[in-house]
Structure 1
C-alpha cells in the first residue's frame, strides 16, 4: 500500500485568494476529467447538525483556476476554509480522506498550512469542492436530480446519474431483457449510447401485497438494477493501482412472489398508522457513505414469471446481474473481486440458491454472503417432477389444459406464456403457490444440504442471520393474539406440521412452555401465542439455518460461517402488523439497521443511542465481511466466533455469544426432521 502523503489541497490555497485575474488554463466543456469522490463525516446520526460532505477531485491535479472551473462544472464551488464551512473541519476532512474504507493510505492528507504566494496559483494539486446536494428523502414530493454526471462503462454505455448529500446514484439500469419463462438476454449497449439512470425501473409483474401498494403489476420488461457509490471513475485515464471499494449485491424479499428494489407505498408500522407514506428501505446513500462500499440492488422476475416450467428464470436473472457487476462495477469505484451477495427473506432464499448453484456458473461472481431471514425449510430445492406438477396446477386454473391432465408439456407452457400477465399473477396468488428453485441437472445439481456435504457450492465466508420472532408477523389473523388459553398453541400446530409431529411438539412443554408462559415483555400478545410463533420461527427459519451453518462449518467451509440472531429491531413497513409485532423483533425488522434508512424514511427519529449504535455495528460487520472476509472489524468490542453449534451471536443490549435455543433445534432436527429438497 502506498505511503500517505501530506499536501495542501487546492481549497487551502485558493479559497482565500482572488481569482479574478487568474488565467484559466483549461476550460471544462462538461465534467472535469477526474475521479469524483463524495467524502463525508457521515456518522448516521440525524441529530448531528454538522454532518456534511464534499467532492474530492482526485486526479489529475489542478491549478487554482482549473480547480475552480472543475468545481463549477459540477455545479459547485471550491470548498471554503474549514473554519467557514459548517460540518467539515480540517481534522475531519483529513479523517475522511485517509479513511481506509474509501481508499486506504494512498489517498492524500490535507495539511493545515495555507499558502498565499501568488506563484502558488499554478501549483498542481487535487481539489475539494462543496457538495450542495440534499439528502434523499423517501416522502419528498420531488427528488432533486439536478446534480448529474455522465459515466462511461465498459458494457452498459454512458450512464447519466446524479448525487445526493452522501452518494452517487445510478437507478433503473436495464441489465437484461426477457421472454416469458426463458433465460434473460444481456442488454446490448453501444459504447457511446447515453442512458438516463435517474429513476428506478418498473416493478416486475406480481400480484397485490403490502409491499407493492396492494396492486397488480404487469410489467415483464423489468430487469433493472441500481448502483449507489461514493465514487465515480469519470477520468479519461483510469489509475489501475487506485484502491477499489467492496461491492454489496442486495436481493429484495417478497416470498419470491412480490417486491421491488425501489420505493413502495405503505400506511402502517408496528408503531401504528402513519398515514399515506413512501418507504425506500433499500436506499443506499447512508450505507455506502458510512460503510465505504458500492451497493447494487436488483429486480428479478417474480412469482410464475421467475419459476414456471422449471425454468429457474429468476436465478438466471440474478446470475446475469452479477455478470453485469463483473463487467461494469469498476466504473463506480467497485472491486469486482470482492462482491458480497445478500438479501432478506426471499432475498436470503435467492442468496442460498446462488450459493447452491453449480460452481461452474458462479466461479468468480461473489466472495461472501449474508442470508437474512432465509426460510430454508419452506423454500426447498424441487425435483423437476414436483416443479412441473406445480406448473401444471397453475395451467389448469388458467384453462390451458383439462383438470384430468396428468403430464405437463410444451403446448401447455405455450398457452400460459400467451396469457396476460395479470391473469398469470392473480391465478398463482389465488392458488397460494410457493414457487421455488428446480434441481435441473445443469445450473442446480442438488439441494443445498447435499451440495454443502459434497463441497459443490459457493464456499465463501457466510453469515446466517434471523430475527427473534420472525413468525410473530406471519401467524394468520384468524388466531386471536391476546387469547391466553394454552389451546392457542396446540389447536394451531396443524397449520404448519402434520398431526403426528404436532403431538410430539405439544409434549415438549419444557422447550415450548405454552401452558405456563407469561406474555412477553413489552408486547401485547399472550404467552401461548408467543410460544406458537417461537416454535414456527424455530421450525421454519432459525433451526434450519443453524443446521446449514453447522453443516458448512463441520464439513466443507470450516471457520468461515457465522450465525446471528437479532434480539432488537426497528419495525419495518414491509411487515406492518401492530397486533402481533409490538415489542417483538419480527420478520424484516433488521433492515433499518442494515441500510440506515430509518432516517431517510423519517421513521423512529431520532434513534435512541442503542438503535444508532446497532445501525453502525451491523453496517460495519456486513461491510467488513465484504471487504476482508470476516465480520470482525478492527476495534470491534465483541469478536464473533465462527459458528460451531452452540455459540450464536445475539445482537441486543449488549451483544453476546450464547447457546441460543440449541435444545429446541436438537429436538426439531432429531424428532421432526429438516428437509431442504423435495422430490
Structure 2
C-alpha cells in the first residue's frame, strides 16, 4: 500500500506465443485483462479475467495463475463473465484477439482443470464423460480479484504487481486493477534542474535489467498556486515522468511483429501552461457546491483502455517559467521526448508505435497545436492522429523570439536578475535566473500574469499554426477540433452577477475588444441578441450571450477556422469538428453560478475518460450520461484505431468538416451548421490572428 498521488464492447487482445517459463517470477506470456466493461457503474455484472496467451498444461496453468495471486477461472455462469460475452471478447477482431471458435482454454474444473471451448455454453466436463487430457497445452483464463481503482481514498491497492521489461526504461514494476495494468510515475528524462534548466531534456537511459518501481504517481512540476493543486506552491523540477495504462502486458520480451497491437492515446494535461498534473489532485467543489476535502483523478485510464481497446500514456512537462523562459520551447521538447519514449517502449504494454493519437485539453490542446505545427522533421512518425479539446488558438498565439525574450526580460527584472532600465535579455541575466529557486520563478510568473506560449524559433517551429498549415510544414494527420457549448461561461469575471441586465453585455465588451470591434458587434444584434435572449437556470440572456460571444471569439471560431483551413489545404478529408452539447462538471474547474445548466470549459473530460465513476461523482449516472460517455470514447478511440471517428455501427456518420457540418454531441449526435454566421462574422469583421507575425 502507498500514499495516494484511478458497447458493450468487450476487450481482449492477443500476441504470438513466447517461450513459456523465464528465470524470473512470472511465465513468459502475453497477459490480457478481458472484460465485459460497458462503462455503466450501475451494471453489477461487470467483471474481468486474466487471459494468458501461451499454450501450457493444466499444471502449468494452475501455477501461472497462482504466480499472479489468482486461480483458474471458474466455469462461466449466467452473470458476470458468461460463455457468450467471453466468446465475444475472445473472438473480437476490433480488440486484437480474433481467436477462432472452438479454441480450447484451461479453466477451473473438478480435476483441477477443465476446458472452456470458445463459442460454446458448456465446459468439457459437462459435454463429455471423460476428463480432459491434463497434459494438453492450451491458453488459460485466471480470475482477476483486483478492485477497480478509486480516487477519493487514502491508499491504492498495489499488491497485484507485475514486472515488464522494456528496451530503454528498464524493468518496470507496476500493478493491476479490475480493468487495467498501471505503471505510474515513470521518469523519461534526467532532471532538468541545475545545468539542465531551460535546456532540452535529456533522455533517461536505463539498463534492461534495472528494476524500477512504477507504483506511484510522480511529483508535480514546479507551479504556482491554483484550484487544481491545493492552492500551494510546488517546487519540484525532477518531474518529467509519464504514466501507462493498458489492458495488456508482454512478459519475457517484445511481441513479434505479427502480434496484434493496440493503438496508443497520448494525453497532455491542461492548466494554462502554468499549472496542472497528470495524476490525482485535491478539490472541494463540484457543480453541486462544496463537497469537502476530496481527491480527483480525472485522467485515470482504467475505463478508457478497457472499453476502447487502447494503451493510454499521460505525461508531465515543465510548466510556467521552467518550460518557456529565454524562448527555450523546453516544454515542447519535453513532449517530443515523451513521444519518443513511446516509440521505444510501448510495445511492452501491447501498444502499436505506428498508431499514436496525440491529444490534450485546454493547455494540453495548446501543446497539441504546437506539436501539429512543429517542423515535421522532429515529429515524423511520432503520432498518427490528433485531438484538440478546448484549444485557445488566437488568445494563445505562436510568438516571435523578440516577444518571448521581452517577456523573459520582464521576469528577469522582477526577480532582480536584470536592471529595470535593461532593454534586452543578456546571457548573464539568463544565468542569474537559472540560479533562482523554482518556486520563486513560478510565483514570479504568477504575480506578473505571464501567458507563456510557444516560440517560432526557426528550427523546431517555423511559422504560426495557420501559416504552417497553409505552407504544408505541419503534421498532416487526421485531426478532431473539439469545443464545449459554453466554454467561457466558466471564465466570466466573478464581479458579473449571473442575472445581470442587458447593459452588462455592453459594459463588459471593452475588457475584450477595441472600439471598432465593439461597434461591429453591436451592429449585429441578430448574432448576439443580448437584449432579447431568454434566461436559463438563473443566468440572464445578456450574460449567456456575452459568454457565447467570448466562447466564439476565443475558442470555437479560431478552432473552426483552423479545421476549415486544414480541410481546404493540406489535410483534405481528415479534419473533423465537434461541439460537446453534453458534459459533467469538472473538478478541475469547479463551476461558478454562470455555468449552471451549461457545458463549460473541461466539462467533456468525464466523458473522454469515463472517470466520474472512479471519482465517485454524479452517481448513479443517467442512461443519457452513460450513452454520451460510450459515444465519446468510441469516437475518440476509433480515430486512434483507424484515423476515422466513425466506428462500426455508429448511428450518425460524422463527415470531414467542410464549414457547415459540425458534429454536435448529445447522447449520440447530429450534424449541424452550428453558429456558422457568428464565425463568419468573427473571421471577416473581428479578425483571427494565430501569431504576432514578426518572425
What TM-score results when the alignment is normalised by the length of structure 1?
0.94
1:425 aligned to which of 442, 457, 472: 442
CA contact (8 A) 1:101 1:245 kept: no
Conserved? CA contact 1:252–1:260, under 8 Å: yes
How many Å apart are 1:118 and its aligned residue? Answer: 4.5
- Aligned counterparts of 2:197 and 2:556: Cα–Cα separation in 1: 35
Q: Deviations over 1:550-580 (max 9, x none)?
A: 0000111100010000111100011112311
**Is contact 2:146–2:178 with CA below 8 Å preserved after alignment?**
yes
Contact residue 56 and residue 127 of structure 1 kept, 8 A: yes
Q: Which 10-residue stretch deviates more, 164-173 or 602-611?
A: 602-611
Deviation at 1:114, TM superposition (A): 3.0
| C-alpha distance in structure 1 between counterparts of 2:389 and 2:22, whole Å | 50
Asked whether the 8 Å contact 2:22–2:28 carries over to 1, the reply is no
1: distance between equivalents of 2:524 and 2:171?
62
Question: Gaps (5+ residues) in structure 1?
Answer: 1-24
Over 3 Å counting, the alpha-carbon distance change for 1:370 and 1:77 in structure 2 is same
User: Which position in structure 2 is the counterpart of 1:570?
Assistant: 584
Quote the offset at 1:30 in angstroms.
1.2
**In structure 1, what is the equivalent of residue 514 of structure 2?**
498
Which of these residues, 179, 201, 212, is aligned with residue 166 of structure 1? Answer: 179
Deviation string 1:638-666 (CA, Å, 9 cap, x unpaired) is: 00010010111111256211111111111
Residue 6 of structure 2 is matched in structure 1 by none
CA–CA separation in structure 2 for the residues paired with 1:353 and 1:403: 32
**What does 1:39-78 correspond to in 2, within 5 Å?**
39-59=34-54, 61-78=55-72
Residue number in structure 2 paired with 1:353: 370
Question: Is residue 117 of structure 2 the alignment partner of residue 123 of structure 1?
Answer: no
Deviations 1:129-178 (A, max 9, x none): 00000000001221100000100000000000000000000000000122
In 1, Cα distance between equivalents of 2:332 and 2:373: 11
Aligned match of 1:661 = 675
Tell me what 1:383 maps to. Answer: 400
Aligned CA RMSD, in angstroms, stands at 1.4
**Residue of structure 1 equivalent to 2:8:** none
1:675 aligns with 2:669: no
Question: In structure 2, what is the equivalent of residue 79 of structure 1?
Answer: 73
Residue 26 of structure 1, CA deviation: 7.5
Output aligned runs, 1:172-571, within 5 Å: 172-177=185-190, 178=192, 179-236=196-253, 238-483=255-500, 485-520=501-536, 523-571=537-585
Change over 3 Å in CA distance of 1:512–1:57 after alignment to 2: same
Q: Secondary structure at the match of 1:157?
A: strand
* Deviation, structure 1 residue 27: 10
Residue from 129, 132, 142 that aligns with 2:145? 132
Matched residue, 2:31: 36
Number of residue-to-residue matches in the alignment: 650
TM-fit CA distance, 1:119? 5.8
Equivalent residues of 1:310, 1:384 under 8 A apart: yes
**Structure-1 separation of matches of 2:538 and 2:432:** 49
Given that residues 124 and 132 in structure 2 are in contact (C-alpha distance below 8 angstroms), is that contact kept between their aligned partners in structure 1?
A: no
CA distance in 2, matches of 1:322, 1:150: 22
User: 2:96 maps to what in 1?
Assistant: 103
- What residue in structure 1 maps to residue 607 of structure 2? 593
Q: Is the 8 A contact 1:28 1:70 kept in 2?
A: no
Shift of residue 296, structure 1, vs aligned partner? 0.2
Distance 1:450 1:351 in 2: 16
Q: How far apart, CA to CA, are the structure 2 residues paired with 1:663 and 1:579?
A: 28
Deviation of 1:401 after TM superposition, in Å, equals 1.0
1:648 paired to 2:662: yes
Q: Which string of whole-angstrom CA distances, capped at 9 and with x for unpartnered residues, describes residues 444-479 of structure 1?
A: 000000010011100000000000100000111122
Structure 2 CA distance for partners of 1:460 and 1:107, relative to 1, 3 Å? farther
Q: Is the 8 A contact 2:255 2:347 kept in 1?
A: no
Structure 1 pair 29–176 and aligned structure 2 pair: CA distance change class (3 A): closer
